Amino acid sequence: MKHILFIVIVLFSMRSFSEISVKDAPSGPIAVFPSVDEKVAELSNKSVKLLLGHTPEGAPRLLSCRDFVSGEELFSDLEPEASLDQWIPASLRHKPAITGNWQRNDNRNFLRAESVCELPGGIKFTWIAELDRESSLIRLSVKLSNRGNIPVIVDWFPAWSAAWSLTGEAESLHYWDALSFSPHKVALQENSTKILRSRLHSSDAIQDGKNPYWIVATNKARLFFALEWCGGWKAEINGIEDGVNFHVFLPENETQLTLAPGESITGPSLMVTPVLSNDEVAARNEWMKIRELLAARIYRGPAPSFPFGWNHWYTVRFNIDEKFLSQQIEAMTPYGFDYFVVDAGWYKACGDWTPQPEKFSPGAFAQLMKKVQSKGTKTGIWTCPQFVSPDIPTPPNLVIEDKPGFQRSFINGWLIDYVRSDFGKYLVQHIRKLRKAYNISWWKYDQDFFTGETRHGMMKNVVAMQEALKTVRKANPGLNIESCQSGGRMLNEFTVLSSQTQWIRDGGSTGIRHARSNFTEALQALEFLPPWTVNRWINRPNENDQDNDEFTRMYCRSAMAGIWGLVADLPLIGERQRNVIIRESERYRRLNKLKRDCLYQIFSPREGAPAAGIIFYNTEKTNAGLLFLRWDEDEAFRLPVTMNQIKPGEIYRIEFVDSGEIQIIEGHKLKENGLTLHFDKTALSVMVFVEAIVQ
């Protein structure tokens, strides 16, 4: 039987370099694909089959992408005559370009093909198409090399361009505003262009910036797009008949590139993940799990987790000292924190990452960290190693950016020049020293990384910074990394895959306003970010009515959709409020067991809606956790919610956490009729756990 299967596979292989083997062959029928031209390259695995080609002028094409088992086409190229205008700046195209065939260059994680486009003067563009060995995820990028004798000015830099016909009828484009995470879902209309962009950092501007993620949906499938790029970018997306046209690139002010003789540079990676499903929850689940597994193979950091942490920032900010930390450590035991993170203000100066002597007696800071660890809690530290204070000598391996230079007065630091600095080496040494001195398990990096005018330009700085972070990740596989970046201003697929969590937005308020902000931003971010990356905090709960258990409970739950942390001066929290927080931390941990599977329905906040919430399911769809907050309704109300992911053939025990009520409901009725949540006049939140009864 194995020999027969092998013969079948060979017969349908396009070229000898196809990655189909007996051990990789899927169960079930094997699709028959049409024959293709000799110049067409093929990348295939047990998920999809991708064919690569060129236009007559030499522009790269992803000819088609098909589901491997069914043979159904996920997308196909619609521009057989496309020119190089959207690939190569006009200033570099003096004579006709010469494009070579696709050549295989696989690595451990990707099936990979490259095609070189040569221009006069030694300029070479290399199109790179990669298919994840384990999934349908496709990674696309462009490399530029200057093999000539004179520097080359590059006006803008391509990421990828294409016009694709999609399986099914193209319906909508989904994207999100930067920092606020406000969602937009618009119809894909012909001759209607949607511009998505960000400036300096990948999600920098709340007014007109966008997060570098978008989804193209049809009635049969989803195409998930994500950009691996920490700098600014631009995407032009057009609806076309039966499909979508897109052009993703770095505009001039995000490129600023002069390539010296002998230099090469690779631009942003555009991740495209086709999923053959019209179920929003199931398609998102597949996308999330694909990314989780890819991150584990590429970056090899700690596995996703949902810790309960403490941080001091929105309490005393920079005014942290030995006395304050000692008081927190004495009061922390009942909470059972997983992490105790010391934020900004502990150090002498940016660039001198030692405890400030005016705040800590000799050796005190290290002893305090040891005391935290002795209680079974891991420690973390905030730094911004890309800045150096003018009050200290510049550390070895670093050079201050001098054209014109960028100072952040907030931290009294000057931004370094990444290209002239050995930033990767410095960053590894920086983390090594912190871990050796304080045995930290968590590193929170923060503040601006880029400025608009630099000696070497935006693009080179972004590449140098990303390479430095990759070096740190590789050198510290057990370190939990929190990407803060001034509160979510550098959020993209690189930071999401290479770190464990994202501080998605700053916000120092407390009370109902902050609770609503927490929940809104978390639910909307969960539409494109995995739950363990969405970091939310409750601030100074003691400033609210400590006798109002209902409010305290709701405030805690406002931060539970992803990772929950407590920002507080712990001794100021009274026993009654502390007991509520501790009880909620236990419910948070119970809910976390379901979040890990990335299978959830989102009921986003809507103006006029009585409640907003989320339902998490386990992979088997036999358990669920419901978390809902009151929204725009002042009176008592009943809220029917669908549970479309529940397994119908079971009998379920329904536990209403706050009232203690227990119901037993048959699975088919639960799936058909949903569940009704009861909000009495005083209830601000509802939490419910659904578990199949073992028979």
What secondary structure letter does DSSP report for 513?
Answer: H
Say which residues have a Cβ less than 8 Å from residue 253's Cβ, sequence separation at least 6. Answer: 199, 232, 452, 458
| Domains of the chain, first to last | 2-298 (2.70.98.60), 308-503 (3.20.20.70), 600-692 (2.60.40.1180)
Count other Cβ atoms within 10 Å, centred on residue 267: 26
Q: 249: which strand partners? A: 158, 234
Count other Cβ atoms within 10 Å, centred on residue 649: 10
**Rounded to whole angstroms, how far apart are CA atoms 303 and 295?**
9
Placement of tokens 């290399």 in the chain: 126
Pairing mode, strands 407-408 and 231-240: unpaired
**Rounded to whole angstroms, how far apart are CA atoms 133 and 693?**
39
**Rounded to whole angstroms, how far apart are CA atoms 99 and 118?**
6
**Rounded to whole angstroms, how far apart are CA atoms 413 and 348?**
12
Structure tokens at 176: 């999100």
pTM: 0.94
Say if residue 426's pLDDT is above 80. yes
**Rounded to whole angstroms, how far apart are CA atoms 338 and 51?**
47
Report, as an integer, the average pLDDT of 291-298: 98
Count other Cβ atoms within 10 Å, centred on residue 662: 9
Candidate from 87-96, 342-351, 571-580, 638-647 with smallest mean pLDDT: 87-96
Residue 600: which of 675, 522, 669, 531 has the closest Cα?
Answer: 531
Length of the chain: 695
- DSSP state string for 666-681: EHHHHHHH-EEEEE-T
**Rounded to whole angstroms, how far apart are CA atoms 695 and 666?**
13
Structure tokens at 172: 């909508």
Contact between 567 and 535 (Cβ < 8 Å)? no
Candidate from 12-16, 398-402, 616-620 with smallest mean pLDDT: 12-16
Residue 77: which of 324, 238, 242, 211 has the closest Cα?
Answer: 242
**Rounded to whole angstroms, how far apart are CA atoms 47 and 43?**
11
**Rounded to whole angstroms, how far apart are CA atoms 297 and 108?**
9
pLDDT digit string (tens) for 54-75?
Answer: 999 999 999 999 999 999 999 9
Placement of tokens 């037993």 in the chain: 664
pLDDT digit string (tens) for 486-532?
Answer: 899 999 999 999 999 999 999 999 999 999 999 999 999 999 999 99
Count other Cβ atoms within 10 Å, centred on residue 548: 16
* Half-sphere CA count of 218, side-chain side, radius 13 A: 23
Structure tokens at 666: 């048959």
| DSSP run (H or E) holding 66 | strand 60-67
Placement of tokens 């590894």 in the chain: 428
Residue 169: pLDDT band by 50, 70, 90 thresholds?
A: confident
Phi, psi of 435 (to 5 degrees): -70, -35
**413 residue type, one letter:** G
**pLDDT at 38 (0 to 100):** 52
Say if residue 272's pLDDT is above 60. yes
Report, as an integer, the average pLDDT of 444-463: 96
pLDDT digit string (tens) for 5-60?
Answer: 333 333 333 333 333 232 233 333 333 333 344 589 999 999 999 999 999 999 99
Report, as an integer, the average pLDDT of 666-680: 96
Q: Report helix, strand or coil for 494.
A: helix
Residue 138: which of 168, 162, 170 has the closest Cα?
Answer: 162
**pLDDT at 18 (0 to 100):** 33
Placement of tokens 């088997």 in the chain: 620
* Half-sphere CA count of 129, side-chain side, radius 13 A: 28
pLDDT digit string (tens) for 179-232?
Answer: 999 999 999 888 889 999 999 999 998 888 999 999 999 999 999 999 999 999
Q: Report helix, strand or coil for 546.
A: coil
**pLDDT at 5 (0 to 100):** 35
Which is more confident, 9 or 340? 340
**pLDDT at 205 (0 to 100):** 87
| Strand arrangement of the beta sheet that strand 651-656 belongs to | 599-603, 611-617, 623-630, 685-692, 651-656, 662-666
% the chain with pLDDT above 70: 95
Structure tokens at 251: 């505009």
**pLDDT at 14 (0 to 100):** 35
Structure tokens at 523: 């639910």
Mean predicted lDDT score pLDDT of the chain: 93
Residue 166: pLDDT band by 50, 70, 90 thresholds?
A: very high
**550 residue type, one letter:** E
Report, as an integer, the average pLDDT of 117-125: 96
Count other Cβ atoms within 10 Å, centred on residue 31: 15
Placement of tokens 């201003």 in the chain: 489
Structure tokens at 331: 């009061």
Dihedral sign (CA 577, 583, 585, 587): negative
Strand extents, DSSP E, 540-610: 563-567, 599-603
